[in-house]
Amino acid sequence: YGDWADETARKIVQEYLAAGNPLPDAVIGANDNMAMGVCNWMDDHGCHVPQDVKVASFDCLEDGQNFFPALTTVNRYWDKMGYQGLQLLLKKMAGEEIPKHTVVRSHLECGESCGCKLSEAKAQARLKAGRDVYAKRLTSMVQDGHYRNLYRFMRKCKTAEELHHSLSFFLGPKPS
């Protein structure tokens, strides 16, 4: 049930517990976004994942792997499914027979949300992702500064000629 959104999962957990139901042993989200919503709801309400509730999901999104706790999730290999689907479509369009069923194997990616220990490689990847967030924020701040300056140069332009002159000045070589 749901629209694959974290807010939907939060609402479902809230309604389930508001109805007087006990805290479940585990929650399996339809996707990683919903599982992260469950984890956040639990944390916001004093419940701890995985100590109080185990959480798992599907899709193996990068955000879910970098989340805390890192999600236990089933990697359905959407890229492989898409590739195989396209190959089957091309065969069908070429008049070839295709199998009625095709299996793409999935893989369980164990994370902390079910109580498993995070592998060293995944822990290092999460640390790197945290550092990358900082670097992206700095890059974004520099870009925002450039956009503000560009706006300052362009906002007074009333004609194409003024815009051309302003952009030429803004983008051209700076005097030393």
Amino acid 164: pLDDT: 87
Our CA angle for 136, 142, 143, nearest 5°, is: 85
Task: Calculate the alpha carbon distances from 25 to 45, 47, 49, 114 in Å.
Answer: 16, 12, 10, 10
For 132-141, letters b (16+ CB in 10 Å) and e give eeeeeeeeee
> Which residue from 119, 6, 2, 4 is spatially nearest to 72, judged by alpha carbons?
119
Amino acid 173: pLDDT: 73
**pTM to 2 decimal places:** 0.73
Dihedral pair phi/psi, residue 77, rounded to 5°: 50, 60
Residues 6+ apart with CB under 8 A from 88: 98, 99, 102
Query: What type of residue sits at position 167?
Result: L
* Alpha-helix runs per DSSP H in the chain: 6-18, 32-44, 62-66, 78-93, 120-154, 160-171
Average pLDDT along the chain, 176 residues, taken 10 residues at a time: 86 95 96 96 96 97 94 95 96 96 94 94 91 90 88 86 84 68
